[in-house]
Amino acid sequence: MAAAVTRGPVAALWRSSLLTNCNFLIRENLCVRTGLLWKRPPSRTFFSDRKKLHTAPVGQVFRLRPFHVLVATGGGYAGYRKYEDYKLEQLEKRGIEVPVKLASEWEVALYKSVPTRLLSRAWGRLNQVELPTWLRKPVYSLYIWTFGVNMKEAAVEDLHHYRNLSEFFRRKLKPQARPVCCVHSVISPSDGKILNFGQVKTCEVEQVKGVTYSLESFLGPRISTEQLHFSQAPAGNSFQQQLVTKEGNELYHCVIYLAPGDYHCFHSPTDWRVAHRRHFPGSLMSVNPGVARWIKELFCHNERVVLTGDWKYGFFSLTAVGATNVGSIRIYFDQDLHTNSPCYSKGSYNDFSFITNNNKEGIPMRKGEHLGEFNLGSTIVLIFEAPKDFKFHLKAGQKIRFGEALGSL
């Protein structure tokens, strides 16, 4: 009797094990017959109080794809760079000079592998989502606290007025918040931080101290003289010399970085005429000072819109440079401009002339007039021709606001 009781559970366990093995062999046979290139790993079965517990095959749980690995690696590295940038900012605040350490080719390639264009388009879609009224104040208050936004300057201070993030980013200012300087020749087109400025002496221009970019790569080939009111320099000269059209003049530049908490619209820095627009599709890497110090020719990698024309002293250009989450660059008078498109050809650019048979003057802009806007912080680069006695009224690293003086004669 005792032997029969003992054999009962053992026999049942043996039969269960036999059935499990038979099922495994049947599955293996089916995989081979259907011509699968891989064999499905068996699921493990455990017994708990006579109940079978099945676990998923390891291959199904941990199935990594190259895209996932690329995004995770690139995103993690971008986060590491963000932390390094923060440490550099702290050193700058203490007055400690930070040595230049440029990124290697593989580091730039790894950073560019992050799908920043896709992320920026997703961010743009998110910005358009209307927030519930009860959620607006907490969300905007968090952003204000994080980036130090001064809402007392906004034309509408009530946070409930802004239906989505996009409207909040593009908020208008009170008329008296940014008085335009009428004395100086060139004013700041936006709020921001001065990264670099000075005279352009070669075809390599500094984006920050010690890190340069190619002037020709940044602006692209010289546009035809038919669109300009001045003659072109001889072809034998360097690209930088070709931009200087009047004897006794020099070429100058100024780089202004717009932080996420800054006023996002930009304005005309002087009285000038816009004759031509050139749009460069490209990457959307961050353009904060830490990254600008790390990646050579950062501005040439990124998507940008170059407006060129002339003012009373010769050549004048304003370039809006895109950045991560700033794929959208809007120029108010250019309805044909569409930035951050899903598909583009590397190294390509699109030209558009505002000089037509019916309009010989192009687009006249007055100093301080609204010109365009970003969705988030980014960079404005001015490159212009002026007499040799032109003087900047700036210091590298200083904060500046739209309407304040950049320089004068």
Q: Known catalytic residues?
A: 191, 267, 378
Angle between helices 66-93 and 105-113 (to 10 degrees): 120
| Residues 275, 251 contacting (CB under 8 angstroms) | no
Please state the φ and ψ torsions of residue 75, each to the nearest 5 degrees: -65, -40
Amino acid identity, position 90? Q
3-state secondary structure 222-266: CCCHHHCCCCCCCCCCCHHHHHCCCCCEEEEEEEEECCCCCCCEE
56: which 2 tokens?
Answer: 């998923």
* Rounded distance between C-alpha atoms, residue 393 and residue 404, angstroms: 10
Count of residues making up the chain? 409
* Rounded distance between C-alpha atoms, residue 376 and residue 170, angstroms: 9
362: which 2 tokens?
Answer: 């192009």
| Residues 279, 337 contacting (CB under 8 angstroms) | yes
Distance of CA 278 to the CA centre of its chain: 18
Q: If residue 272 lies in a helix (H) or strand (E), which one and from where to where? A: strand 272-280
| Residues 42, 27 contacting (CB under 8 angstroms) | yes
Amino acid identity, position 130? E
Burial of 80 (0-12, 13-18, 19+ CB in 10 A): exposed
| Residues 294, 101 contacting (CB under 8 angstroms) | yes
Burial of 77 (0-12, 13-18, 19+ CB in 10 A): middle
The closest of 197, 318, 320 to 269, measured between CA atoms, is 318
How many other C-beta atoms can be found within 10 angstroms of the C-beta atom of residue 392? 16
Helix (H, G, I), strand (E, B) or coil at 355: coil
CA distance readout (Å), 86 to 110, 184, 291: 20, 35, 11
